[in-house]
Chain A
Amino acid sequence: MKNQNRRDFLKTAAGIGASIGIAGSVKPAKASEKTLSDDRFGILVDTDVCVGCRHCEWACRVAHNIPTPDLDTYSDNSVFKEYRRTDASSLTVVNEFENEKNSAMPVHVKTQCMHCEHPACVSACIVGAFSKLEDGSVVWDGDKCIGCRYCMVACPFQIPTYDYDRSIDPQIRKCDLCFEKRKTEKLPACVNICPNEALLFGKRDDIVRIAKSRIKRKYDVYIDHIYGEKEIGGTSWMYIAGKDFEKLKLPKLNYSPAPGISESIQHGIFAYFVPPVTLYALLGTIMWITRKKKGDDSEIKDETNQDKKGGAL
């Protein structure tokens, strides 16, 4: 409905000045602040519990209709030799890292979209194809997306992926917290299949509390930091680990929301259209003041003089 109004407004907008005016007055899609429910989801990845079975990778593909080999083939550990990232056919990936305390027990880290509390992709997307839902999930709308890949530039975790090999209907893909599936089932596919309960799904507040108590209980195992509790303004997925998170290839990020600076610049430039309209008026005034008076043929004279000068050069 809101969209419809904007469209009508655009149609009736007269003059360029007016249409610039509207473009800026579009209210920021601050869904993250307005509609976020207190019951929104959080998921804890306990890297100390995860054994790296990669069942979550398999379940994720099945849930998103991505062709996948048999579950048995996932016991092959050779994939861990190289660091892998999410791509167009894997929305979640488990990587293995060395464990200095116990080399027989390497650390496994599952990565996927973090479902930020203040998502950079939602703020950045040119057509608003991403939205932050009330339950905390960040989902992509293929009917809007133009494939500009600005979300990939904006994402602090560099998660969204793009189908580089398709010309028609290439997809931006990332974890959607099994948004469709959860209409009928309770848990996302990866959480559902995890045999060791390394993934804990619940209300975000509860998850933070549980993570804190786990760190407290096993203080000799975990470092005292919940990755994702405050990073980039907080994320839905959070991690606890016995090792510095940067060594687990989770980027060290500051605590201010990712879109913060960009949005405030954007709103500063536009500030209810005052700056552009003022500039327009100012330029109009200059144009009026410096206009050529009637019967003033200084232009021609000027040119003839310059002609002579130009000839000398």
Chain B
Amino acid sequence: MMIPWPVKHRFLTPGVFVLILIALNGLVFLGIRFISGIGAVTNLNDYTPWGLWIGVDVGAGVALAAGGFTSAALGHIMHREHYHAIVRPALLTAMLGYTFVAFAVFTDIGRFYYIWHPLIMWNGTSALFEVGICVMIYMSVLYIEFMPIVTERFIGRVDLPDFISFLNKPVDRFLRYIDSRLALTMFIFIIAGVVLSTLHQSSLGTLMVIAGQKMHPLWQTPILPLLFLLSAIAVGFPMIMFESLLASRSFKIKPEMHILSRLGVMMSPILGVYIAAKIGDLFIRETFKYIAPLDGTAWMFIVEMALIIIPFFLFLSKKITNSVLGLFIASAFVIAGVLVNRINNFVVAYRPFFNPVEYFPSFGEISVTLGCIAMLVLVYRAIVMIFPVITQDRKDVYNKMIELDKSGPRRWI
């Protein structure tokens, strides 16, 4: 019987050890940034105020966490129960992804101790304000959506250390109370999560519109918000497939191909809409002429488009959507395509006037970005080993649960 259950596996493996080293290296540069300022670690300057941290950690981070809202829309709102097994991993990815984004923002803004200011100082004309406030609310929503997984893990199993063990019962009662309240109100948060996501995914695109003529015409378009939303939706499922396949390989669990293949089949139409919008924009604004010089910038555009168009065709093939490797590669293409798109929008396309030095991220910047990603993966690994996130074939556990509770295991998130 397939049921979400904590994964039983060694935490430390050679791969994990490498991740820890990458994380430590990032932490060193993070330390320098907070002691000596942004200039000490980054190549940012007065011409180029935003770089890798905004492009990848924030821009791409928000997009790659989109699996959370696309799977919630599919699983919970459209009630396609078949896909329930992917909702929890996607939710965890989104929750950790947004936490990572929030931390990236905290690192990148100069006056990090004022990060709470947007909560009370509002500027309705600012796209960044819209993104900021939506991301803050959405992150809270994600944590609330994750709560039932925590209560499920501990209800009936609260086992505190001896000296406070008298609290076991009250804590259990408290968890049951929260659980019952959440069960009644969860639909509010699920819908809110999807609405908030559509809002800030698109507003993230509006961000660069105000840069006006400083942004390369291949990317500067008034439909940027639409393109950002469509690409976020497009990358949601590939991210879920990529992660699920990676996790099942790492934990030696059977890949959930019966779900992932069906997601794969949906991908070509979703990618098609994005590609159509992107190419339509290219022709309506007649910006295709900027590709002709075939300079570095034009090549970045070509690479970005290729990384999206190739998987469009890959996902059309039944052979590929039915094979583990095929799905993995096709999803990796989409993820890379959206990643390059965000880097292009926030870094490559931003071309300040009379700029003497072209920006390229420093070793410190890259270290921090990679370090944060490594930390995210490590936390993800730890959480799926503690909480029931990943669905596995555990008949033994299921039967025991049925014995305890005739109505079967609770499955509403």
Q: Please report A residues at the B interface, Cβ cutoff 8 Å.
A: 3, 6-7, 10, 15-17, 19-20, 23-30, 83, 85-88, 120, 122-129, 144-150, 152-154, 156, 158, 161-167, 169-170, 172, 249, 251, 253-254, 258-259, 261-263, 265-266, 269-270, 276, 279-280, 283-284, 286-287, 290-292, 298-299, 302-303, 306-307, 309-310, 313
- CB B84 to nearest CB in A, in angstroms, measures 7
Residues of B within 8 A of A279 (CB): 194-195, 198
Quick one: given A23-B122, A29-B123, A148-B128, are A153 and B350 in contact (CB under 8 Å)? yes
Q: Are B128 and A126 in contact (CB under 8 A)?
A: yes
Q: Are B127 and A262 in contact, CB atoms less than 8 angstroms apart? A: yes
Asked if B118 contacts A146 (CB within 8 A), the reply is yes
Q: Is B14 an interface residue (CB 8 A)?
A: no
- A263 CB to closest chain B CB (Å) equals 5
Taking CB atoms, residues of chain A closer than 8 Å to B50 are 149, 153
Interchain CB contact under 8 A, A170 and B127: no
If A146-B114, A167-B34 touch, does A16 touch B211 (CB 8 Å cutoff)? no
| Total of A-B residue pairs, C-beta within 8 Å | 253
Given contacts A6-B122, A85-B46, contact A313 B108 (CB under 8 A): no
Choose from A26, A167, A261, A309 the contact partner of B123 (Cβ within 8 Å).
A26
A97 to B356, CA, bound (A): 16
Q: Are A167 and B124 in contact (CB under 8 A)?
A: no
Report chain A residues within 8 Å CB of B39: 164-165
In the bound complex, do residue B354 and residue A249 qualify as a contact, i.e. CB atoms below 8 Å apart?
yes
Residue B202, interface by CB 8 Å: yes
Q: Using an 8 Å CB-CB cutoff, how does the interface string of B194-216 with A read, 1 for contact, 0 for none?
A: 11101100110011111111100
CB of B119, distance to nearest CB on chain A (Å): 8
Q: Mind listing 9 A-B residue pairs with CB under 8 Å?
A: A26-B123, A29-B125, A85-B46, A126-B128, A126-B129, A127-B114, A146-B110, A165-B40, A265-B225
Instruction: Name the residue on A nearest B42 (C-beta).
Output: A164
B120 interface residue per 8 A CB criterion: yes
Q: How far is the CA of A32 from the CA of B206 in the complex (A)?
A: 21
When distances are taken between beta carbons in the complex, the residues of chain B under 8 Å from A258 are 210, 212
CA distance A154 to B214 in the complex (A): 9
Across the interface, which residues of B come within 8 angstroms of A88, CB to CB? 46
- Residue contact A283 to B46, C-beta cutoff 8 Å: no
Determine how close the nearest CB of chain A comes to the CB of B258; give it in whole angstroms.
Answer: 4
Q: Are B214 and A280 touching (Cβ within 8 A)?
A: no
Selected from A25, A30, A147, A152, the residue in CB contact (under 8 A) with B111 is A147
Q: Are A299 and B210 in contact (CB under 8 A)?
A: no
List the B residue with the shortest CB-CB distance to A259: B210
- List, in ascending order, chain A residues with CB within 8 A of B411's CB: 299
Contact assessment for B110 and A163 in the assembled complex, using a CB-CB cutoff below 8 Å? yes
Contact in complex: B117, A146 (CB < 8 Å)? yes
Is B213 a contact partner of A123 (Cβ separation < 8 A)?
A: no
Residue numbers of B with Cβ under 8 A of A are 2, 33-40, 42, 44-47, 49-50, 73, 76-79, 81-82, 84, 105, 108-112, 114-115, 117-118, 120-130, 132-134, 137, 141, 187-192, 194-196, 198-199, 202-203, 206-214, 222, 225, 254, 256-259, 261, 322, 350, 352-354, 356, 393, 411
- Minimal beta-carbon separation of B235 from chain A (angstroms): 20
CA distance in complex: A31, B44 (Å): 31
- With A149-B110, A165-B36 in contact, do A128 and B123 touch (Cβ < 8 Å)? yes
The answer to whether B125 and A123 touch across the interface, beta carbons within 8 angstroms, is yes
Interface pair A287/B77, CB less than 8 Å apart: yes
Q: A15-B188, A276-B195 are in contact. List 4 more A-B contacts (CB 8 A).
A: A127-B114, A129-B121, A299-B81, A302-B82
Q: A83-B356, A310-B257, A313-B258 are in contact. Are A259 and B121 (CB under 8 A)?
A: no
A residues less than 8 Å from B322 (CB atoms): 313
Report chain A residues within 8 Å CB of B112: 146-147
Complex Cα distance, B156 from A285, in Å, reads: 35
Cβ–Cβ < 8 Å partners of A24 in chain B = 124, 130
- Chain B residue at smallest Cβ distance from A289: B79
How many Å from the CB of A293 to the closest CB on chain B?
Answer: 10
Contact A286 B210 (CB under 8 A): no
Q: Are B123 and A127 in contact (CB under 8 A)?
A: yes
Cβ-neighbour of B82 out of A26, A156, A306 (below 8 A): A306
Known contacts being A146-B117, A292-B79, is A276 close to B128, with CB within 8 Å?
A: no
Distance in Å from the Cβ of A176 to the closest Cβ of chain B?
17
Q: A125 near B126 (CB under 8 angstroms)?
A: yes
Of B36, B49, B118, B189, the contact of A126 (CB 8 Å cutoff): B118
Q: In whole angstroms, what is the CA distance A124 to B81 when docked? A: 43
The CA of A149 and the CA of B38, in the complex, are separated in Å by: 12
**A170, B123: Cα distance in complex, Å:** 22
Find out whether the CB atom of B36 lies under 8 angstroms from the CB atom of A167: yes
A66 CB to nearest B CB, Å: 15
Once bound together, how far apart are the Cα atoms of A258 and B213, in whole Å? 10
Residues in A whose Cβ lies below 8 Å from that of B196: 16, 20
Please give, as numbers and ranges, the residues of chain A lying within 8 Å of B2 by CB-CB distance.
303, 307
Contacts of B352 in A (CB 8 A): 158
Contact with B121, one of A128, A167, A254, A286 (Cβ below 8 angstroms) = A128
